[in-house]
Amino acid sequence: MKKILIALETGEQEQAAFRRAVGGEAELIFTTTGAATQEQVREASFILGNVPPRFIAGSEKLEVLQLFSAGADAYLPKGILGEKTQLCNATGAYSRAVGEHAFAMTMMLIKKLHLYRSAQMRNSWVDYGTIRSLGESTVLVVGLGDIGLGYARLVKAMGARVIGVKRRPGPCPEGVDELVPTEDLDRVLEEADVIMSVLPSTEETRYMYTAERFHRMKNSAVFINVGRGDAVSEEVLLSALQHGEIAAAALDVFETEPLPADSPLWQEERLVITPHVAGSFHHPSIYDGIMEIGLENLRRYLRGEPLRNVVDPKTGYCR
């Protein structure tokens, strides 16, 4: 009998839903990501949860690894997943939470609220001058997947002109004024007042935001990253801020996490830092979305049907 490992915090209601989905076709094992053992992982044919990659080590029994994250980069190196293992992510579960977080960062930066908060901590009554409205801004969304599109529609509702950048652009979706391929990034960077990045970590996206690309940005632009930290070198970003190449930035993701206490990023007044909390399980919609995706893919797996959110191991993107 196949073994189904649910390596995610679940209550009685969620466990009952999984039991109904499985019926008597497989053995269900409930644990948490931190408590899952290597033996449990190696014996499972379907796993829901981000178990340690080293526990998988090319398991011949594992047919489906359903992650609770949108990012799948930790499982892409050779030797982790076997040839017959399908890797699925949780695209669709994070759009509201991460999109709203990035939207809040956007409003904070263009209204200079980060500067006023810092002034408050110094008991300083200071006027930081003119601000920008989204209604007169061009917003560039780099990585127009589920999260990026959710964010795009929020800023579009405020009157922004929205340009989306996508690896394989198709028809321009509602909420986006122009959709361009990655090859056009340099051109549209020069037009943007807000650059919001929500890229995964792949060979093509690592350190995509080079010093040259920051030179191309308006010195009044703001840069936001809620995708993966290695899309930009922290040294390059800090230099761009200190030399006035951009006006401000906000990061929820970093090259090294947790961000070291001695990092100079902490002291940069024009930078807003949140500790990778845009997603995770901070909003109930994320957990609900993961449960819905996990249950649906488990049912599809048991029926031998095509799975949802299958990740291409060569690109790190959903197929």
Q: Which residues belong to the active site?
A: 228, 257, 276
Positions of E strands within 97-150: 138-142
pLDDT for the residue numbered 6? 98
One digit per residue, pLDDT tens: the chain, 319 residues?
A: 999 999 999 999 999 999 999 999 999 999 999 999 999 999 999 999 999 999 999 899 999 999 999 999 999 999 999 999 999 999 999 999 999 999 999 999 999 999 999 999 999 999 999 999 999 999 999 999 999 999 999 999 999 999 999 998 899 999 999 999 999 999 999 999 999 999 999 889 999 999 999 999 999 999 999 999 999 999 999 999 999 999 999 999 999 999 999 999 999 999 999 999 999 888 999 999 999 999 999 999 999 999 999 999 888 888 8
- 282-296 as b/e, with b when 16 or more CB fall inside 10 Å? ebeebbebbbebbbb
| pLDDT tens digits for range 242-291 | 999 999 999 999 999 999 999 999 999 999 999 999 998 889 999 999 99
Strand partners, 4: 28, 46
DSSP character for 84?
T
For the chain, what are the domain ranges?
A: 2-93+283-303, 95-273
pLDDT for the residue numbered 132? 96
Work out the burial of residue 171: count CB atoms within 10 Å of its CB; fewer than 13 is exposed, 13-18 middle, 19 or more buried. exposed
d(CA 319, CA 314): 10
d(CA 206, CA 75): 16
pLDDT for the residue numbered 188? 98
d(CA 114, CA 123): 14
d(CA 290, CA 191): 36
| pLDDT tens digits for range 5-49 | 999 999 999 999 999 999 999 999 999 999 999 999 999 999 999
pLDDT for the residue numbered 239? 98
Q: Could you tell me the maximum CA-CA distance found in the chain, to the nearest angstrom? A: 69
Q: Which CATH class is domain 95-273?
A: alpha beta
What is the CATH number that goes with domain 2-93+283-303?
3.40.50.720
Q: Same CATH fold, 95-273 and 2-93+283-303?
A: yes
* Cα torsion through 183, 74, 5, 311, rounded to 10: 20
d(CA 71, CA 200): 6
pTM metric for this prediction:
0.94
